[in-house]
Amino acid sequence: MTLRVLGVDPGLTRCGLGVVDVAANRTATLVAFGVVGSTPENSLDARLLVIADSIDKWLTDYNPDVLAVERVFSQLNVSTVMGVAQASGVVIAAAARRGIPVALHTPSEVKAAVTGSGRADKTAVTTMVTKILRLDCAPTPADAADALALAITHAWRAGPGSASLGATGATGATAAQKLWRDAEAKAKKNKEKTAHGWR
């Protein structure tokens, strides 16, 4: 069984899109990638329409099983957060109209999944995406590579029959996936400590 995931790195100026097929043995294969967007000189409604039309076309052309979208973070400046949130909303709504499930992943989750480190930079992510997908050259721009990383992350986390994705180690996970799971567990533990006022 193969899972097709459309990864979306949302943004008004550049919205990265990437489609991968991931087999039961966790082998990921590139289907397509690209970037859509608009310039700040255009009105907000026109900019969102560009994204809406583009995501509809990608959903029609590639018929993904699921969308993986980057979760919005508030540490960005307010105008950036608003733009990313608006683009995300358009993408999520487009998937919902077609009954396609949507998963949200944080940047650190994606970095940890594909590189083994939640603090990896964009260059490291692009390098690993290129390696994972067995590409001759790196996908560009970085927004497209990030979208592919999102798709890979989701497929590896909850791909076809999660527990039966293949035996690449004692627990059926790659080294990067084990590191990602450890990072996720640590983050969850730290969050619980903070919520209870622990230090």
Which sequence positions are flagged as catalytic? 9, 70, 143
d(CA 131, CA 177): 15
Q: How far apart are CA 76 and CA 84, in angstroms?
A: 10
3-state secondary structure of 163: helix
Strands (E), the chain: 3-9, 15-22, 28-36, 66-70, 102-105
**What are the residues whose beta carbons fall under 8 Å from the beta carbon of 73, sequence distance 6 or more?**
81, 106, 107
Tokens of 187: 């983050």
